[in-house]
Amino acid sequence: MADDNNEIELSVEELRQRYEAEKLKRIRPEGTAQWKNLKETNAKLDQDPFVEPGFTRDAIIEETTAVIVGGGFGGMLTAIDLTKRGIQDFRIVEKAGDFGGTWYWNRYPGCMCDVESYTYLPLLEETGYMPTERYASATEIFEYTQLMGRTFDLYPHSLFQTEVTDAVWNDETRRWLVTTSRGDQLSTRFLVLAGGILHKPKLPGIQGIEGFAGKAFHTSRWDYTFTGGSATTPMDKLADKRVGIIGTGATAVQAVPQLAKYAKELFVFQRTPSAVGERGQRPTDAEWFKNQKPGWQEERILNFTHCVTGVQPEVDLVQDGWTEVMWENTQKFPESEDEAAALERSDFMTMEKIRRRVDTIVEDAETADKLKAYWGKNCKRVCFHDDYLPAFNRPNVHLVDTNGQGVEEITKNGPVVDGVEYPVDLLIYASGFEINNDLNERLGFDPKGRDGVSLSERWSQGSHTLHGVLASGFPNMLLISLTQGAFGTNFVHMIAEAAKQLGFIIDECESNGIEAIEPEEAAEEEWLMVLYGAAAGGGLYVQTCTPGYYNSELQAPDAKAARNLVYAGSLLEWAGYLEQWRNNPELPGVKLERANAS
């Protein structure tokens, strides 16, 4: 809920200048090329630490209606939607050893979801599950995805520890042939790409990173054999260790308090501070939960998304940091100069309040100053945590601020900042995930559509989709992705809307003898115009932002980037486009091929 910030006085001009200065010192000429792919840098670091080595199984050769790539929420919700429509003939192919996606991989200590569990965990009314706390831990979410797998009987459909190596469309049979790392040959009518949004770890391209002689891992490949403990028990092998963590994004904000508790010394290497608001974790009130009326969850999910996209509904059901901070949409296109000034001021106020929170918690004034985020609330993901800032009051925790420059080198002993080497036993990369590169790179394979044209070839000058869901040249290929699709504070809400669309399309085709569906190029261009229209308001705002993955490191957009947009309006507007399309019996903008017709 919006609250009264009027007591805060601020100088708009000074803040503008400060934001600009922070942005300029952080901009890197390499742009998105500054990152390294984890697997290519060190394949060992990318291995799954959560499965027993040596798994084997016989290859499968079969025909199915759908192959779903990815067993995270996207793949699972699509599979559940298909099941409810009576379509049981599908396979889920998943690289990991179980369901969960993000929540399979991210088991770092302190990992949790910063979106309220009652809106984030899907299908609570159907599974009958009550989250234990307001913000669910990663362990609980991972277990919940397993519960979903059991409840909706998805395990028998799933091939775990299996990576898709290729997918080729056959114009004659109107089917995809999907091949995998286990020798499977899956002939399928529909290919669902739900391979993840933030799932492929990336490393900072720091000179010397390969030569570090100590232990190192990415946060999404946490090695508890080295740290001791588990996601739920103390890391009892760190008491004599000097630990470094590179990165201070949403992941580090959750991991740092745990490392601070158990490491002998902790060095937090910061390039850009996170904005960290109040969390307010609490156990679920079982009475309250029990008394929710049927339909409550959908209402709450919609209400939350309304609150965080500036719709300002009459009631704010969630009333947490997210709904307070995002209550006003400050990047919308202003109707007048007065409105532009009011929006700018509102954004400054929100962020100033978060900055002042630092002073009330962090005792050392110099450290407190360095922990203040000077960027607008839509530039990066705002975080909410009650233990991150207090960690810097501990004598064993040292903030190594790099003044926007980043760690300059890693020697065999540890990171170097400003010419000073920080020797560490363990170096943790909280450096995030690939997001601004090509979809086929993130998928790990390159689908070949009509005439053998690959996705990377077809999209070499940018993506072509209808709603971010269907792509011309790739019949029956269905996407859950940010590419020309939507973004949301509650990612699972976005994923659920996409899954509904995918289920509908497959059902519609199966029920009506449609063997192939793909968008008309003209409809894709119309969709691109919608994307441009939605981006118009945010364009000016983005120029004030610090670089990051939200804005492709502020690189000047080339022709390709100009097409690889995310729908910049609200997630519900995007969902509205999907619904409108579903409700139109003409299925506008797509080409359909029916049985016995060519």
Site residues for ligand NDP per CB under 6 A:
26, 113-115, 198, 204, 206, 246-252, 254, 269, 271-272, 381, 402, 406-407, 430-433, 548-549
Least distance between ligand NDP and beta carbon 4 (Å): 28
Which sign does the torsion angle of CA 112, 116, 119, 124 carry? positive
Residue closer to ligand NDP, measured from CB, 303 or 431: 431
Angstrom distance (rounded) from CA 259 to CA 109: 8
Q: Which is nearer to ligand NDP, 246 or 528 (CB)?
A: 246
| CB 357, min distance to ligand NDP, A | 18
Q: For ligand NDP, which is the closer residue by CB, 246 or 495? A: 246
CA distance 225 to 405: 33
Closest CB 245 distance from ligand NDP, rounded Å: 9
- Helix intervals (H) in 423-520: 439-443, 455-458, 491-511
Nearer to ligand NDP, 235 or 554 (CB): 554
Q: What is the DSSP string of 37-60?
A: EHHHH-GGGGS-TTS-TT------
Residue 448, beta-bridge partner list: 168, 454
Minimum CB distance to ligand NDP, residue 64 (Å) = 32
The Cα-based distances of 6 to 28, 301, 339 in angstroms read 36, 30, 17
**Nearer to ligand NDP (CB atom), residue 101 or residue 519:** 101
Measured CA to CA, the distance from residue 400 to residue 141 in angstroms comes to: 32
> Which of 268, 274, 276 has its CA nearest to residue 399?
268
Continuous segment of H or E residues that includes residue 313:
none
- In whole angstroms, the minimum distance from the beta carbon of 432 to ligand NDP comes to 2
CA distances 343 to 43, 336, 376, 380, 489, Å, are 46, 11, 11, 17, 20
User: For ligand NDP, which is the closer residue by CB, 149 or 247?
Assistant: 247
Closest distance of CB 204 from ligand NDP, Å: 3
The nearest distance, CB 108 to ligand NDP, in angstroms, is: 9
CA-closest candidate to residue 548, choices 432, 457, 387, 452: 432
Q: Which is nearer to ligand NDP, 475 or 548 (CB)?
A: 548
Query: Measured from the CB atom, is 167 or 275 closer to ligand NDP?
Result: 275
Residue 534 near residue 504 (C-beta atoms within 8 A): no
Cα–Cα distance, 118 to 400 (Å, whole number): 37
Determine if residue 195 is left, alpha or beta; phi over 0 gives left, psi from -120 to 50 gives alpha, anything else beta. Answer: alpha
Amino acid at the residue 290: K
Q: What angle do CA 353, 354, 360 make, to 5 degrees?
A: 90
Pairing of strands 409-410, 415-417: antiparallel
Cα 576 from chain centre: 22
For ligand NDP, the closer of residues 415 and 503 by Cβ is 415
DSSP H helices, 335-450, are 337-361, 365-370, 388-391, 439-443
Q: How far is the CB of 202 from ligand NDP (least distance, A)?
A: 8
Query: What is the smallest separation between the CB atom of 574 and ligand NDP, expressed in angstroms?
Result: 18
Shortest Cβ 417–ligand NDP spacing (Å): 8
Whichever of 137 and 564 has its CB closer to ligand NDP, that residue is 137
